[in-house]
Amino acid sequence: MNAKFSIGVAFAVTAFSGLAAAQDKVAQDKAAAAYPNKPIRMIVPFAPGGGLDISTRLIGQKLTEKWGQSIVVDTRPGAATIVGTEIASKAAPDGYTMLMITTTFAINPSLYAKLPYNPLKDFTPVTQLNSQPNIVVVNASLPVSSVKELIAMAKGKPGELTFATPGAGSAPHLSAELFQRTAGIQMIHVPYKGIPPAITDLIGGRISMLFTTTISAVPHIKAGKVKGLAITSAKRLDSMPEVPTIGETLKGYSAEAFQGMVAPAGVPRPIVDKLAREVIAALQTPDLIKAFAASGAVAVGSTPAEFATFLNSEMAKWGKVIKEANIKLEQ
């Protein structure tokens, strides 16, 4: 083949590819400008009335006010969020179906041997809604008043202290496992089917401590029925500034639950960016900040790129804890 002809063909192919890419970008920009022009479905992989359902409805109200389009909250509970997540993974990548997620999204890939979706390949991160630290509470009669004293007691009585969580593989469970490994102690895990029965047993002295949400613990702390020792987040909560963090005693320790939004893979980037901008704007409103604070959460609002980095780090972090603690669940 003539060299000049080959160069000409290559140039033509390159030019055509460049034109196609430019046309595709124009089409995506037009789609984003018109978005949304119909209701948006937000899948919540939990039962109605839970924390993520409430957060989704708060965000949805803000988006409806902004765009004039309905936000349909579709609760699809089951199999530790796997049911709803699988449904979202198979949705059309047009920006009209979103998946609302929690820390479970980052935990499940390491907790289950096989999932009907790939969290990295089948979804595009949009934004993190908030962070939700847990709090370590102990029985009121336990003779400790700080994390340092708790660690000392645990080291003096290896395998005797018990800690409760709302279930094996839950975010509070992994927070506690990380605490054990960071502190170099050994305690006994007592899983419960929810927080209320665990709190009842904690107050009754049948368990030593509990890793739980601040909103579920604060009323009992104020009543003097349990003692709040520390928050699991990296920073103290503005709503509980008197409670120290575990990291103030154990350098580097940080464990926070989160809520976020992801889209099915393939949603045009301009639509993802537009949705992220509007959700972030909603998260910055005083009423939403106040609503999250009332539930012990802190509004975040991150870019898609920031949220992608965060999700990758969370998956690696909890995967390591699950492996080291040998936590296994049968699907």
Predicted pLDDT at 27: 58
What is the three-class DSSP state of 173? helix
Average pLDDT (306-330) is 92
Taken in order of first residue, the domains within the chain and their CATH numbers are: 39-131+259-325 (3.40.190.150), 133-248 (3.40.190.10)
Q: Which residues of 281-314 are buried (b: 16+ CB within 10 A; e: fewer)?
A: ebbeeeebeebbeeebbbbbbbbbeebbebbeeb
- Alpha-carbon torsion (53, 281, 213, 307), positive or negative: positive
Instruction: Report the C-alpha gap between 83 and 44 in whole angstroms.
Output: 10
CA dihedral 60, 66, 67, 70 (to 10 degrees): 30
Q: What is the pLDDT of residues 243-275, one digit of tens each?
A: 999 999 999 999 999 999 999 999 999 999 999
| Average model confidence (pLDDT) across the chain | 91
pLDDT-based confidence at 238, cuts 50/70/90?
Answer: confident
Answer whether residue 23 shows pLDDT above 70: no
Q: What is the pLDDT of residues 35-64, one digit of tens each?
A: 999 999 999 999 999 899 999 999 999 999
Beta bridge partners of 211: 136
Give the residue from 273, 264, 263 showing the smallest Cα distance to 29.
273
Pairing of strands 162-165, 40-44: unpaired
For 37, 137, 144, 254, 285, the CA distances from 180, given in Å and listed in that order, are 51, 15, 17, 13, 38
For 1, 6, 31, 128, 186, the CA distances from 110, given in Å and listed in that order, are 54, 50, 37, 21, 22
Strand segments (E) across 12-122 = 40-44, 71-75, 97-102
What is the three-class DSSP state of 118? coil
pLDDT-based confidence at 294, cuts 50/70/90?
Answer: confident
**Backbone phi, psi, residue 69, to 5°:** -115, 145
CB 230, CB 135: distance < 8 Å: yes
CB 267, CB 40: distance < 8 Å: no
Q: What is the pLDDT of residues 149-163, one digit of tens each?
A: 999 999 999 999 999
The answer for residues whose C-beta is within 8 angstroms of residue 149's C-beta and 6 or more apart is 143
pTM: 0.86
User: Which tops the pLDDT comparison, 18 or 168?
Assistant: 168
Q: What is the pLDDT of residues 177-229, one digit of tens each?
A: 999 999 999 999 999 988 899 999 999 999 999 999 888 898 999 999 999 99
Predicted pLDDT at 271: 97
Answer whether residue 330 shows pLDDT above 60: no
Instruction: Report the C-alpha gap between 93 and 126 in whole angstroms.
Output: 13
Instruction: Classify residue 37 as exposed, middle or buried by CB count within 10 Å of its CB (0-12, 13-18, 19+).
Output: exposed
Answer whether residue 118 shows pLDDT above 50: yes
Predicted pLDDT at 331: 46
